Structures are given as structure tokens and as C-alpha cells.
Structure 1
Amino acid sequence: MRIVSLNAWGGRVFAPLMAYLIDVDADVICLQEVVRTPASRADWLMYRDHNIELPQRANLYAEICAALPEHDAFFAPVARGELFDGAQSVPSEFGLATFVRRSKAVIGLTTDFIHGAFLHDGWGPHPRARNAQAVRIFDYKGGAPITIVQLHGLRDPAGKHDTPARLAQADALVGLIGRIWSGNERLVVCGDFNVLPDSATFDKLAELGLADLVVGRGFTDTRTSLYKKPGRYADYMLVTPDVHVTCFEPVAAPEVSDHRALVLDIA
């Protein structure tokens, strides 16, 4: 089974991203920063926040669904706010999306907030609400279930160090995992955590038997050249000991986001 985790960056590197999602041939794809704007037919919209303007692929979720017809798709919006088509504002959703190849049976699905709550009328102040999404899959080929959880950890303008909100987020994540994971089967947790490798988040996840593959295997960079700031850690992939890892890599090329895709192959 191949599992991919990637912050899609709102689809800003659209053509390479779409080609990569097809070519990587993954059984499960966990994406963060996915845009869905059903009311717009525009290809691109603009996110505006004070002096920041970021192009967003207006209907990235629908386009990925069309590109992956052999996968079931699950979208989990974290908020509904404004994007702009010129001067016109357009309501748009932003959140997580998980894609599961239909040869695997989805036997459990859980989505919940791990920081804050859903906002329907704006993006909200920082640190903004965050959610997590979990799928429990029966792998017919392997003859056993596996639970895969993804999250997009809260962003704090002050940095990626631990805060009370991040520690509470970690507790909420552990609680969400406990609602779907049986405790005696394989577990994978992945995503853009927005924390440093020494975060207490990993201590809490270690209590579930989870170990991180990024730092644990000596990788020091989960960013691409499109990310210009210092600090190269953001994305992580954790597994329980019963996950038989045959290959793991934070992919440096092609560059399809300012984050590297994390690719995990398991037996």
C-alpha cells in the first residue's frame, strides 16, 4: 500500500501538482490546504489578508476528484471565508481531503476539530481553527485493517514552538484517534503539523506507540525551494511498530508545493 501526505498549498503549483497526484499512484492520498468553491467557475481566485495576496485554485477539490476517478474522496472543510475574483468576493471552503482507492474498503470515517470550531462566515483570527480526518480501511490484499489519520496543525504567527493551544490540540488529536482506532491494528498519522521536532505533541503520540519517520530516519527538510523562510520542518509521518515500512521519503522533486510530499510504502 502506498500512502501520500502533502500540503497542496491551495493548488498554487497546479499543473505539476495534478500530474504528480496521478503519477504517484497512491492508494491513500491525504491533502491539506484544499480549496472548494462551488459558486465559482473561475480557475483562480485570490486570498487576501492585509498586505498578503495568495492565488488559490478555485475548485481544486473537484479537479482532483476528476483526476482520480478510481478513488473515493472525503472533504473536511475547516472554514468558509472570502476569496476574490477581481473586486468580487466569493464564499469558499478550505480544509482537508482524503482520497482512497476503491479497491480498499473504507470501514470507518471520523472528522472533528482539534482546535477551535467551524466558521461559516470568515477565516477567523489566528491561530485559526483546525481539524483532523481519519479513515479506517480494510486492505483486502493485506487481509487486515489500517487506520490513517491526517491533520493540518494550527499556525501561530509567533512560530512553531509549543503553546498551550498546541498542547490542547495534541490532546484533541489523541482523543479523535481513540474514537476510530481499535488499538490493536496498524496506525499511520500524517500531515502538516506546524510544530518543531521537539514538540510535546510527539510525546503524546508516542503513548499510542507512534514513532515519526521524518526525524527518526534522519531527514532534515520537508520543504521545497518555494519556501523561503528558515526552519525546514513542518510535515511528519508517524507509524506504529506493526506497520511494515518498505520505503519512506520526503520527495524533493518534482516540486508541487512549498511542502514536500511524504511518500510511505508499506507491505
Structure 2
Amino acid sequence: MPQLQDIASQVRRDIVRMVHGVQSGHPGGSLGCADFLTALYFKIMDHKPTPFDMDGKDQDLFFLSNGHISPVFYSVLARSGYFPVTELSTFRKLNSRLQGHPTTHEHLPGVRIASGSLGQGMSVAIGAALSKKLNGDKHIVFSLHGDGELEEGQIWEAAMFAPHHKVDNLIITIDANGQQIDGTTADVAGLGDIGAKFEVFGWHVIHMDGNNMDEVVATLEKAKSLTGQGKPICIIMKTVMGEGVDFMEGHHEWHGIAPNDEQLAKALAQLPETLGDY
């Protein structure tokens, strides 16, 4: 998927430049999820960037639960036509619609929930999916979660609810990069076999390499084919925190720190400019 890979490279450039510009933000998880969100918005989802409809009727929906990776979300939204790419330069600045965690009161097209308080996005996605069923809307609801986020109790209440109510128009993805703000997930609170946990709750579980674009597209297509069969779908997505920038890769320290001028230059040298910088 060369075209999607080119888009993902530009998205990664956007991420490091946005975070560097205000010396704050979360580059690590954003870089790791760039391939997934690029595939979702540019290939997989049936969505309508303009005019933006908050209700999302007759289109697929996406909810970002781990809202701290807003840089990748904002970049993909802008690059896919929800708002001007030039607005990326306002990230985390005063009076910007691009806050550190997405909010709804800013009325930023593409953002349907405020997120950042971890653990809530799966419940929201389930509610949206049930609404689509009640409305006779055959479209799919997607959501993304961090593996560290699975330490939140509300996740498991939602994980029990969805299979019980046969919410089979729902595809959730877990970013299993093994890192969180305080260290590795294994050290902070070992998660064990995430897939087995969801399976025993009654989910259909599939696995993918989230930094292999061909595999991401193929797995998401497979997940779509499994909808409507009585079970919600959970994708366990193995990624590398900081993917694409060698000195950030696999280090939890890059969860929430910004590169300095020298580090930015080094990062950009590794990421081809394909669509033009904002």
C-alpha cells in the first residue's frame, strides 16, 4: 500500500512537528498508531468529512478513547478533509480548537466525544453501535484504546456488556505497544494474555502487526467481514511506541515528552515529506 504508507509518513512528520512546536504533547503512541489511523480514514471507513454531522448517520464512526494521542488523530482528520491542514500549527496553543486532548465544545470537525479520561471510549462506542442498530443503520463503529488503558475498570464493564447484548457492529482495537507513562505495562500492572481475556468475555479476537500497512488493511477488512455475526470484534494490534523515529522506538519515556530542535531535525530526516508540511 505505497500510497497509504506515504500518507502515514506525512502524518508522522505532522506529529513530531506539532509536539515540538509547543514542547508538549504525546508523540510516542501517536507515531505507533499512524499506520492504523491512516488505513482507517483513507481506506477502511465509509465516512463523510464534509459537511461534518455530529450524529454520524449512515456512515462509519470512530472514537479515540486514549485521547492523549491527539496529534495523530488531528493530523489524520486534517489530511482526510475534516478541517484545514494549516490549523495543525495551532496545536495546544491558546484559543486553539486542537487541545491536548480532544474536546467537543471546540466544535472541531471529526471529534464526537471528549477523550483523555481513560477507560470511557469503549462504553461510548457501544452506545453508538447500539444506536445504529436501533436506527436500522448498517454502518460500523470503530474505537481505539491503549493497552495501559485496560487497567481502567470501566473497560471491563464494557467488555462484558457488548457480547451479552450482541453488539456485532463494533470493532475495537487495542494498541498493544507494551508501554505506558510510568514504564512498561508488564512492570506497572501486567495484562497477561489480552486476547484470551476478551475471548472469554465473548468477543471475536484477531491479531495484527499495527506497523505493517498491508497487514493493517487486510486485518481491518477481515474484521469488517466478521460484523453482523453476533459478536463484537476486538483487534489486538502490536505496535512500537515511537515507530518511524529510531531514537524514540520502544521507549516509554517518549509517551509524553517533546523533541528538542536537534531531535526534531533527526526525526524529520527519517520521515519523507510526501503531502507537504503544514
TM-score by length of 1: 0.36
Higher relative contact order (CA 8 A, sep 6+): 2
The structure carrying a bigger helix percent of its residues is 2
The structure carrying a bigger strand percent of its residues is 1
TM-score by length of 2: 0.35
